[in-house]
Amino acid sequence: MNDGSDTRRFPHRTAVRARVPVTLHRAGHRTADLVTFTGLPDREEHLAVVVPAHRHTVPLVRLHSECLTGDVFGSARCDCGPQLEEALTSIAREGGAVLYLRQEGRGIGLYNKLDAYVLQDRGRDTFEANRLLGRGEDERDYTAAAGMLHALGLSRVRLLTNNPDKARQLTGLGIEVAETAPTGVYLTGENGRYLDAKARHAGHTLPVSLSPSTPRSDDMEVSVP
């Protein structure tokens, strides 16, 4: 039973280890701090990209789960790359933080995610494919993210996401989610079924009509709220 104090609700002793200023070419050449941590509960090297918010505004925060294929190589199979770009641009403009969480493949890792892609190419959806591999549909836990936010002094946030589970978990970990702001919807010729499965199966708020029969095109269709 928690008594409302942050230490009782959130026992991990996560603290800031170092802050390193960088200029972000992908966010209008704005300056941000890369922040590392000690005492993370899962011992992964999670990173925060932080831009100070104005004193009277609630900082914008994105919990971005690592996606090497989308974030680095620009794979069109998912929407992660453009979501990361949008988040960096928004926090550079408004202040806040992108937590870059080492949760590749919704927590199952890169090689398993690529195995899941093979199953998806044989007709399974993204969640079924995880189950067939003997893994959870979504193994992500946001305890480390909550620790990072507490350590950064960001205990009240506007959360940039379409995934209701992120707000739910953070709230349970003592972070006040004052508002949930949807990301844009980045539909490519290849990610229609992936986005559709997220909306149908995991309740993501994706305000576009998506279905496996969505006509495929080579151009990305972008709908930004």
Applying the rule CB under 6 A, the residues between 195 and 224 that interact with ligand GTP are: 198, 204
Q: Binding to ligand GTP by residue 169, rule CB under 6 A?
A: no
Residues 6+ apart with CB under 8 A from 221: 186, 187, 188, 208
Residue 37 binding: pick among ligand GTP, Zn ion, none (C-beta 5-8 Å cut-off by kind): none
Q: Binding to Zn ion by residue 197, rule CB under 5 A?
A: no
Task: Tell me the closest approach of the beta carbon of residue 154 to ligand GTP, in angstroms.
Answer: 17
Q: Binding to ligand GTP by residue 104, rule CB under 6 A?
A: yes
Q: Binding to ligand GTP by residue 90, rule CB under 6 A?
A: no
Q: Binding to ligand GTP by residue 78, rule CB under 6 A?
A: yes
Q: Binding to ligand GTP by residue 126, rule CB under 6 A?
A: yes
Cβ atoms 126, 198 nearer than 8 A: yes
Binding-site residues: 62-67, 78, 80, 83, 104-106, 126, 161, 166
Binding-site residues for GTP: 62-66, 83, 104-106, 126, 161, 166
